[in-house]
Amino acid sequence: MSATGGGTYRGGEGEPMVLIHGFSATRAVWAPLLSALEQSHDLLAVNLAGHVGGPELASGEVSLAALVDAVERDMDDAGFDTAHLVGNSLGGWISLELARRGRARSVVALAPAGGWTAGSRAERRLRALFRRNHRLGSALLPHVDSMVRRPRVRRMLMWQVAARGELIPAADAARMLRDSVGCPVYLKLMEAIERDGPPTSLDGIGCPVLIAWGSRDRIIPARRYSARMRELVPSAEWRDLPGLGHMPMSDDPELVSRTIVDFTVKAAAPSLLEAH
């Protein structure tokens, strides 16, 4: 296991894989999966530009496209022309955009963002939710270390992102809250996504795609946000993750890592056969 430049993490051996976290999070959210994924992949976990621990946005522009550009630079620096891309929430959307650019061998999108239409009630709901979360998180920040010591309180604080928030170690829960509130581009990125709108097309994706969604996702519930994503990526395979939340790797690391590896192995099989 090793940290590399720009706040990225590199470890393991095998086919290249890039892990891309969600809005206002950091690469630390992938910690529960690293040991399992490193058994079969050369792993790169990135911190998104403008986020805690991540690089500055190259042009100062805050936009989804600028975040995608920055992940491409991380891939270039790692020597990855293409890789298996695994993204959660905003990271799932970024993974699909990278696939359109030809950078993906496969995509596993866990509760991908972007499955709404501009100006819709679903979009307004997310805007209000994230603004409220930022205000509440800022108010709780001075007390967070003491609050997370109690499992019941952790479950309450993490209820939106995890179905079983008490399973998240106290120190990790506190860090997640601090990272989210401290995200330098939190409000500007929200405004940019609303300004530029969700994807109107994801045409051009030529690799296998798996979209997996926790049945207890309270941030981007599948019942409200998956239909549009099915239209945008009609060739994708779909998988339900029963009982898991918006960041399913926190609730059941074994199931999520197995889901990812099973899909990437299947996706790699044709190219391996062609090579022989």
What does the alpha-carbon distance between residue 109 and residue 211 come to, in Å, rounded to a whole number? 5
Residue 140 neighbours by CB distance under 10 Å:
14
Q: What does the pLDDT look like over 70-128, one tens digit per residue?
A: 999 999 999 999 999 999 999 999 999 999 999 999 999 999 999 999 999 999 999 99
Question: What residue ranges do the domains of the chain occupy?
Answer: 2-117+198-275
Q: What does the pLDDT look like over 31-47, one tens digit per residue?
A: 999 999 999 999 999 99
Specify the pTM.
Answer: 0.95
Q: What is the reported pLDDT for 5?
A: 44
Q: Is the pLDDT of residue 155 over 70?
A: yes
2-117+198-275 placed in CATH 3.40.50.1820: yes
Q: What does the pLDDT look like over 120-131, one tens digit per residue?
A: 999 999 999 999
Q: Are 22 and 89 in contact (CB under 8 A)?
A: yes
